[in-house]
Structure formats: C-alpha cells, structure tokens
Amino acid sequence: MMQTLRVGFFRLFYRFGSWLSWRGKTPTVAHSVRQLPTNAGNLGARVYAQANGGDKPLIVYFHGGGWVIGDLRTHHYFCQAYSHHTGCTLVAIDYRLAPEHTFPAAHEDCLAATHWIAEHVEELGPSNGRIVLAGDSAGGNLAVCSALSLDESAASKVAGEILIYPVVDHYSVPYASYEERATGQALTRDVMLWFWDTYLGSAAPDGDEAAITRPMHASNLSSLPPTLLITAERDPLRDEGKQFAQKCEDAGVTVNYKHYEDVEHGFACSEGPTPQFQAFIDQTRDWLKAL
C-alpha cells in the first residue's frame, strides 16, 4: 500500500513539475497519438511530426523517470521543444513502468518499438529513413540497451544514439559520484537506489540480466552507432556516464561527449528552456548535422 501511494505521489509531482517548468515557454508542435502494433503487443506513442524533417533522421525517444515515475506527459513539453529545435520528427514511446511491470517489461517494449519503427519509419512522419535512439536517465539506459540488442536489419537503420545523463550501471558499483552527489539535487542517491530496486523487482543486478540492464558491462559495445553522450555535474550518475563514454571510445565507437558543469540531473528535460538547455540543443543540432 505504501509503495503504491509513494509511486502515485511521485508520478503526479513529476508531471506537475514538468508543467510548471515549461508552461508558456514551449513551441507549439502538433502531435498525434499512435498505437504501434509490435511483437510485444500494441504500444502507445506520441508522434511529433516535422514538415521539414525529410533530410533528418527520426528520433525515437524513451523518457526518463527511473523506469517508475516518468511517462509521456512528464516529457511532453520537452519532446515538443526537442522536435521543434532539432527539426526532427520525434516518436516518444509509452513503455510499461515498474512496479506494475518490473524488468524486463520496459526493455522488451522499447526493443519491440525500435524494431517496428525501423521497418515502418516512412509511416510516422517526414525523415530521411534513418532513426536515432534517444533518452534521458532511465530512458538513456533503455536507448543504449535497445541499440545493443537490435537485429542486423534494424541496426542498419540506426544512424546514432543520444544519451542524456544515462543510467549505465548498477549502484552496487562504488562510483564516487554516488557519495559526492548523494544529496543536494532532485535525483539523490537514495532515490536512485529506490528506482533500481523497483525496476528490477526480483531480478538480480548481475548474471544474465546484466547484459540488458547494465550496458557498462556489455561485451558488444563496438556495435553501437555514433553516440552523443551528456553528463551533469550534480548527479549521482555523473561518474558512470563519464566512464561509459571512455569505454565506448575504447571500443571504437564515435563518441561526442560533453560534461555540463554547475547543473544537475534533469537540466536538459525538466527545467524548461534554460541557457543550459539551449547549449544542449545547439550541441544536438551540430551533432545531427555531422551524422
């Protein structure tokens, strides 16, 4: 009962905070609601189509929120802004959340959505026929885990991935940022522990599950597409993101890595159009042009 109340409270609080940060500051981008008929069943999605996106890849977006409290509503305003400023058609995926649906439900949904979109990209809005997998925090985890799990046909359609302060390892690994940034920002160490435990449920953080929960330990990192990776200074996830960028580079992946000082986890998606958000947008546009 207490778990249900806690989850419900945080979901409502996250939606309200997002609305408060973005209200009156979001460019108007029309969206449509779709049901994607994937092999995991019908998955809800919001499509933010861009009429001039024919020369750009389509962005497949997985929202953050610790696999627990985020949804299409918490990220609606950000997705509008991101689609508008990049000029890309964007498809946001409504994957299943924990604790109602623990691991591997979210991963299975995101992987199935990616496979379906790769085969039907021309049906979703103007694009150049390629896709970019993107996500923030837990959504970044789902983006990179999906990229690592794609079949050859779908992988050939992926032009790149955008990982915004992603979760790439479990809290059992003693990264210094988990202690240095344990408190003092919205995402605390204790909240991150709760997210992980709620998401995994009865699954173990190692063993067979590690391959699709902890990309830091994946054996096929060299298969990843060109990657834009963002980290924030005031973030328990700071150090694992930095290390992951280096590990991907060592595996031969083309990585554009940027660490943002004096910002916290959530700065790109949850704080509205701040100067740091604009810097992130500028970096994304430059990276997209270089693909």
The sign of the CA dihedral 222, 245, 59, 133 is: positive
DSSP category for residue 156: T
Contact 130, 157 (CB under 8 A): yes
258 membership: H or E segment, kind and range: strand 255-264
Neighbours of 24 (CB within 10 A): 5
- Active centre residues (catalytic): 137, 235, 265
Contact 97, 125 (CB under 8 A): no
- Bridge-based pairing of strands 158-164 and 90-94 is unpaired
At what angle are helices 76-86 and 2-22 packed, to 10 degrees? 40
Rounded distance, CA 89 to CA 60, Å?
9
DSSP string, 42-97: EEEEEEE--TTGGGSPEEEEE--STTTT--TTTTHHHHHHHHHHHT--EEEEE---
